[in-house]
Structure 1
Amino acid sequence: MDALAGLLEGPRARGAFMIRACFDPPWAVRIEDRAPLTVMLMVRGEAVVLPDAGEPVRLRPGDLAIARGPDPYTCADDPGTAPQALILPGAECSYPDGRSLNGSMDLGVRTWGDRLDGGTVVLIGTYLMEGEISNRLLDALPPLLSLTTDVWKCPLTPLLMEEIVRDEPGQEVVLDRMLDLLVIAALRAWFSRPEAKAPAWYAALADPVVGRVLRLMQDDPAHPWTVASLAAKAGVSRAALARRFSELVGEPVMTYLTGWRLALAADRLREGNATLEAIARQVGYGSAFALSSAFKRGYGVSPQEFRLRVGPT
């Protein structure tokens, strides 16, 4: 599992909110849904994304923006346009004064706005839940980033435009996977940019020694890894691996492995009803007690308390 796969491996898009928004200027929508990640792909017209803190981002046809929640922001044709709609958690929609707007701007299957042939068309995909594995990468993203057509091309746009309005069996699954592909493609492009500050462990994947060790731990967390066994796999001494890993990743080998295992455990707790004993075996702990002790040290609550707090997804 590489870094980008790790972003979506835990809670990959499942029933993600996807919509085609069609507007005529002037228009503005205030987003307060607290979603962990939202992707906006401009198809026609122009828009500006206005975070409450930070610089606005202007989008033109072919450009893409990613907003990392839970901070609110506004999308509009112009910074001076007052919001006409408010998007709340659970895909609820209201007028700014609180009156319900649900249904009144529907234009067909996954289409919303003023009119189908509006001057502005933007495809929006929103992940509705957050996974603990992805936090390592999400924390490295700015609250708002953009990719313009001079630095990336999106081959998925025509297919997304076609699929987002289809109403076929299994269509939600198709759109979920397409959203995953769109995000991965965008993040690949983003982390290749000089302005992107990739996390140390992400950059370390390119190192022939540390990258191999990271992949070994990520691919088989249940294995009883030690620094010595990982060093042998990488073809270096234990001391050389420990030094190189700390220099590139910013933390010791076993500290990283513990964090990875606990993140996996948190996702398992979030995803279903597997027993703590089963989860412990999956992520490299010898018993439910050992996992519970490590989890409480890392997360401040017991696995049972964590499961009750986040609920199943």
Structure 2
Amino acid sequence: MGQPRVALLIESSREYGRALLAGITRFMRERSPGWISFFRDRGIHEDFPDWIQDWDGEGIIARIETPTMREVLLRQTIPVIDVRCRYPLDLPQIDTDDREVARLAVEHLVERGFRHFAFAGVKGANWSDTRERNFRQLLEERGFSCLTVPSEEPPPLVVRESYGNRVHEELVAWVRTLPHSTGILAANDLRGQQLINACRDAGLRVPREVAILGVDNDPLICDLTEPPLSSVACDAEAIGFQAAELLDRLMRGAKAPRQLRLVSPRGVVVRRSTDIFAIEDLGVARAIRLIHDHACEGINASDVVREVGESRQALTERFRRVVGHSLKDEIVRVRLERVQRLLIETDASLQTIARQTGFSSGEYMGTAFKRRYCETPGECRQRTREEGT
């Protein structure tokens, strides 16, 4: 095989698409496959490019958005990888694990003390419907319910995401009906921005009265909102890398897999829109804040009790009743979440990570980590590196 020609039918107007392209670029730089790539800057809802129908190349990576695009690409005799997964196709597909998106959202909002929840979706979008279904199911498993925005599916000619801007007054009316201290998961960051604007016009303070969490972690959107939007960070770069790796194998004659491949999100990036603890018990709220701010500095339960200034028995009993576990459990949980991030994002040794997260030793950290995540720190690092490559 000479220099294969690869078409990249991926939008670059959003952070998700740009991250997909970054992952493909990283594969090309690290693996040197000798590709000649064909890419034309395009928006997420632009028409399918006519030139691809008669294009003479060896492979395609695409976000298949429309029925026309689907039909044309299904007729191709060359390998095609779909990184949109809007339709069930007889093609290799790689996508974000939306159940994991929902799980991270539920854990983030519940850990911050919210007991009222809502979901604001993009009507008719399959990824939004999947996130809503999983968010609701995971909340119900914990004994909570979930409200949703009452809406009709927008007309076909209206871009579904921007439709939220056309029904701003309906959003304003809806957020006014929510219980005090509601945690909302928005289907994506653009929907989260629309919600923050609606809350402002409804006279509701974010995050004090309503907390809002987006998905995609698009820095342009998240940082343009006021307050800045917290968001679940999907790993689109890993999806792009894996799509490129798979396409390279297929162009070399490998058999195409038929099972959908899902990639876990990176985690929650906390900004001001959820940076609050929605707990009426001021002592418990202060204890949680102290733990989240200082757990990795080596504090223990006695330090927390002393700083809050209450009797140990009274605080620990109320903390367990409100949060569902002990002060010590919360300290360990916060430390382990930091351990997990450092394992994924750095090459630091286990001993170094233990010191940076308040554990007395790497052995103790490893035991606690395996008890919570059912894998050792080393296994976690290896698995996430393999998923990313």
Name the TM tier (shorter chain).
0.3 to 0.5
Larger strand proportion of the pair? 1
Larger helix proportion of the pair? 2
Tell me the TM-score normalized by structure 2.
Answer: 0.39
